[in-house]
C-alpha cells in the first residue's frame, strides 16, 4: 500500500494527497464549505445476554483482554492522553501486540508524548504501521525524518471526535485507562492515585469502538460516580498495578510567566480585549496553561474584580488560576476539557460549577453546533503566522513536526481569536510570508499580539474601529514581519524534501495541509 497518492491543490493553496494510507480523503474546501451528507458511524448492536449478569466484566490482565477483544493484524487501537507524559498503558498494549506477533496496527491516540518513545521500535518492526494523532516530541521527529511506514494523520480534538463519529476512523479496540472504575466499566478521572480530572478524550472511543477495555489501578464497587465513561459501552475491565505516574500526569505547578516580554504581551492582550469591549459582565474566555495565557487570565481576573463583574464561563484546560477565580466568585462556571494541575483535579471533584466537557460538546464540527463558537475570546499559541494570518501550530520553522494540534483548530471559531506570540524565537522571526504548515486559515485568526505591537486581521474592521483610539500599538501584519526581519534577518527556509510524512486535517475532516520530510 502506498502511503499516499493523487495529490491536488486545496482551497488553502496547499498540495495534499486525496488517497491516504489507501483510503480516500477530501481536500480542504474552505471554512464551512464542506457539508457532509452521510450518516454517523453505526456501531454493532450488543445484547445484555452476552454480558455477565452480575455486571462484573473483569478479566485477568491486559493481554487477556486484548485477546478476548480479538486483537489482530491491521486493527485500529485507540488510547487517550489524559495522563500526558505519565501514561503507563499505551506502551504495554504494543508490548503485548508485539509479543503476540500482531502486525500493521494503526495507533489512534488522542495524542502521544515523549513517554511513548518506547514505541519507535514497534514503528520500525511493523507492529505499528502508523500513528494517527498528535505527536509531541520524539515520535514527531521520527515521523518527520520519514521513518514511519504509514502516513501520519493529525486531527484536532474536535476533528478526532468527528472522524470517529463519521466513521472515517473505525476503532477496533479502545483502551481507556481510568483513575477510577467499577467492575461494570463505569469510569472517571477524578478519583484515585492517577487522578487526571476527566476522560473526555476517550468519549468517542467509548461510544463508537467495536470493543472497549477499561484499565484501572483503582477499582471501586458499582456504581463508580461520576461515570464520565458509561460502563454500558464497555466490554472488559482490567485491574493493573499502576496506570500512570501521578507527577507526570499533573504538574502540580502551573505558574504565570516571569519573562518581561511575555508579561508585556499578556498585558497588551488584556488591554486589547478591554479596549475592544470584549471584557464585560458575563463574558467568556478560553486561555491555555502556558505562562503567557495564565498571565492573561490573571489580568482578566483583575479587571473583573475591580469592576465587580463576573465572567459567565471559562473554557479550560484548568489549573490553579481559573480554579481560584471560580472559588473567589469571579466566574460562574469552568467548562473543562482537561485538568493541568492538582488544583484543577480537586476543583473538578469538589465544585459543581467546575463542569466536565468533551470534544463532543465543545468541538465536534459535525454536531448541531458546538461550544467553541460561543466563547467571546480565546488566546492561543502558534509556532508561526504568516502575512495572511494563517497560523502553524505543529511544525517548527526547521520543518520538524514536534507538536500536536489539541483543541487549537476548534478554538479558532470563537468570537475573537488572539495569538499572543513573541515576534521572534531564537532569532527566527515568527511572522513570515508563508507558514511551513497551515493548521488554521487566516480568516479565523483575528489578532496577533507581539511584544512589539499587535496586528488586527483586516477582515475585522469592527475590532480595528473599536481600538483605534486606545493608544495600543496597532500595526499591520506586514509591519510586524518587517520589524522582525530588521532584527533577525529574513528567516531561513527549512530544509524539506517533497516526500510527505503526515497530513493535517481540518475540523470537518478535510485535508488542509501536508507535512514534508525533513532532509536531515
Applying CB under 8 A, the residues found at the interface with a copy of itself are 32-55, 57, 165-166, 184-185, 212, 221-223, 225-227, 230-235, 282, 312-313, 333, 335, 352-353, 355, 360-361, 364-371, 373-374, 413, 508
State the nearest-atom distance from the C-beta of 27 to a copy of itself, in Å: 17
152/407 with CB nearer a copy of itself: 407
Packed helices 291-307 and 260-275: angle between N→C axes, nearest 10 degrees: 40
Placement of cell 500482531 in the chain: 102
34/396 with CB nearer a copy of itself: 34
CA-wise closest residue to 319 among 375, 246, 254: 254
Cβ contact 440:390 at 8 Å: yes
79/165 with CB nearer a copy of itself: 165
The three-state secondary structure class of 359 is helix
Dist. CA 19–CA 74, nearest whole Å: 18
Placement of cell 502516513 in the chain: 151
State the nearest-atom distance from the C-beta of 146 to a copy of itself, in Å: 35
- Cα 417 versus chain centre, distance: 16
Cα separation of the two ends of the chain: 25
274/508 with CB nearer a copy of itself: 508
Dist. CA 388–CA 155, nearest whole Å: 22
Dist. CA 324–CA 317, nearest whole Å: 14
Q: Which three cell numbers stand for residue 195?
A: 487522578
Packed helices 342-350 and 320-328: angle between N→C axes, nearest 10 degrees: 40
State the nearest-atom distance from the C-beta of 454 to a copy of itself, in Å: 24
State the nearest-atom distance from the C-beta of 36 to a copy of itself, in Å: 4
163/423 with CB nearer a copy of itself: 163
State the nearest-atom distance from the C-beta of 195 to a copy of itself, in Å: 17
Question: DSSP character for 87?
Answer: B
Cβ contact 376:314 at 8 Å: no
227/299 with CB nearer a copy of itself: 227
Q: Which residues contact 109 (CB under 8 A, 6 or more apart)?
A: 78, 79, 80, 81, 90, 116, 131, 133, 134
67/387 with CB nearer a copy of itself: 67
State the nearest-atom distance from the C-beta of 53 to a copy of itself, in Å: 4
314/456 with CB nearer a copy of itself: 314
| Number of Cα atoms under 13 Å in the Cβ half of residue 218 | 18
State the nearest-atom distance from the C-beta of 79 to a copy of itself, in Å: 19
48/426 with CB nearer a copy of itself: 48
Instruction: Give how far Cα 364 sits from Cα of 142, 157, 291, 314, 508, Å.
Output: 29, 8, 27, 19, 9
State the nearest-atom distance from the C-beta of 371 to a copy of itself, in Å: 8
Instruction: Give how far Cα 130 sits from Cα of 72, 107, 134, 211, 503, Å.
Output: 15, 6, 12, 20, 12
State the nearest-atom distance from the C-beta of 83 to a copy of itself, in Å: 24
State the nearest-atom distance from the C-beta of 320 to a copy of itself, in Å: 22
**Total Cβ atoms within 10 A of residue 257:** 18
Dist. CA 378–CA 375, nearest whole Å: 7
State the nearest-atom distance from the C-beta of 234 to a copy of itself, in Å: 6
Strand partners, 176: 214
122/371 with CB nearer a copy of itself: 371
Instruction: Give how far Cα 329 sits from Cα of 311, 320, 474, Å.
Output: 9, 14, 34
115/212 with CB nearer a copy of itself: 212
Which alpha helices (DSSP H) does 256-318 contain, by range?
260-275, 291-307
Dist. CA 153–CA 137, nearest whole Å: 16
271/366 with CB nearer a copy of itself: 366
State the nearest-atom distance from the C-beta of 175 to a copy of itself, in Å: 15
The three-state secondary structure class of 416 is coil
State the nearest-atom distance from the C-beta of 358 to a copy of itself, in Å: 9
300/360 with CB nearer a copy of itself: 360
Maximal CA-CA distance, the chain? 72
Amino acid at each position: 500500500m502506498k502511503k499516499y497518492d493523487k495529490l491536488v491543490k486545496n482551497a488553502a493553496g496547499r498540495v495534499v494527497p486525496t488517497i491516504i494510507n489507501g483510503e480516500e480523503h477530501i481536500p480542504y474546501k474552505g471554512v464551512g464549505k464542506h457539508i457532509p451528507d452521510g450518516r454517523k458511524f453505526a456501531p454493532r448492536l450488543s445484547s445484555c445476554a452476552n454480558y455477565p449478569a452480575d455486571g462484573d466484566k473483569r478479566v485477568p490482565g491486559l493481554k487477556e483482554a486484548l485477546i478476548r477483544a480479538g486483537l489482530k493484524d491491521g486493527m485500529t487501537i485507540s488510547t487517550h492522553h489524559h495522563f500526558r507524559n505519565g501514561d503507563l498503558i499505551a506502551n504495554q498494549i504494543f508490548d503485548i501486540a508485539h509479543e503476540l506477533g500482531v502486525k500493521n496496527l494503526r495507533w489512534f491516540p488522542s495524542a502521544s508524548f515523549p513517554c511513548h518513545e518506547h514505541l519507535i521500535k514497534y514503528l520500525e518492526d511493523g507492529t505499528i504501521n502508523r500513528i494517527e494523532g498528535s505527536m509531541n516530541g520524539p515520535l514527531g521527529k521520527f515521523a518527520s525524518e520519514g521513518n514511519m511506514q504509514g502516513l501520519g494523520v493529525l486531527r484536532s480534538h474536535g476533528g478526532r471526535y468527528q472522524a470517529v463519529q463519521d466513521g472515517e476512523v473505525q476503532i477496533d479496540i479502545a483502551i481507556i485507562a481510568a483513575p477510577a472504575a467499577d467492575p461494570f466499566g463505569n469510569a472517571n478521572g477524578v478519583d484515585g492515585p492517577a487522578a487526571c480530572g476527566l476522560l473526555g478524550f476517550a468519549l468517542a472511543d467509548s461510544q463508537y469502538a467495536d470493543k472497549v477495555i477499561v484499565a484501572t489501578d483503582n477499582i471501586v464497587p458499582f456504581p463508580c460516580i461520576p461515570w464520565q465513561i458509561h460502563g454500558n459501552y464497555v466490554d472488559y475491565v482490567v485491574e493493573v498495578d499502576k496506570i500512570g505516574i501521578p507527577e507526570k500526569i499533573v504538574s502540580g505547578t502551573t505558574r504565570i510567566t516571569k519573562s518581561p516580554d511575555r508579561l508585556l504581551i499578556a498585558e497588551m492582550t488584556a488591554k486589547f480585549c478591554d479596549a475592544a469591549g470584549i471584557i464585560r459582565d458575563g463574558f467568556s474566555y478560553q486561555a491555555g496553561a502556558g505562562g503567557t495565557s495564565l498571565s492573561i487570565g490573571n489580568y482578566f481576573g483583575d479587571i473583573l474584580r475591580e469592576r465587580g463583574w463576573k465572567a459567565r464561563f471559562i473554557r479550560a484546560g484548568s489549573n490553579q488560576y481559573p480554579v481560584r477565580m471560580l472559588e473567589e466568585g469571579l466566574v460562574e462556571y469552568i467548562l473543562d476539557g482537561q485538568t493541568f494541575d492538582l488544583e484543577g483535579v480537586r476543583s473538578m471533584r469538589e465544585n459543581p460549577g467546575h463542569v466536565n466537557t468533551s470534544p463532543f460538546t465543545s468541538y465536534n464540527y459535525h454536531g448541531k453546533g458546538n461550544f467553541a463558537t460561543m466563547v467571546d475570546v480565546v488566546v492561543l499559541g502558534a509556532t508561526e503566522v504568516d502575512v495572511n494570518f494563517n497560523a502553524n501550530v505543529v511544525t517548527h520553522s526547521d520543518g520538524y513536526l514536534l507538536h500536536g494540534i489539541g483543541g487549537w483548530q476548534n478554538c479558532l471559531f470563537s468570537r475573537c481569536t488572539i495569538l499572543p506570540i513573541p515576534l521572534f524565537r531564537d532569532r527566527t522571526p515568527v511572522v513570515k510570508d508563508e507558514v511551513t504548515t497551515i493548521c488554521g486559515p487566516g480568516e479565523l485568526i483575528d489578532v496577533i499580539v507581539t511584544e512589539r505591537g499587535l496586528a488586527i486581521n483586516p477582515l475585522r474592521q469592527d475590532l480595528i474601529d473599536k481600538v483605534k483610539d486606545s493608544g495600543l500599538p496597532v500595526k499591520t501584519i506586514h509591519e510586524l514581519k518587517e520589524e522582525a526581519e530588521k532584527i533577525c534577518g529574513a528567516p531561513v527556509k527549512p530544509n524539506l524534501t517533497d516526500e510527505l510524512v503526515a497530513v493535517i486535517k481540518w475540523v470537518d475532516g478535510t485535508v488542509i495541509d501536508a507535512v514534508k520530510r525533513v532532509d536531515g
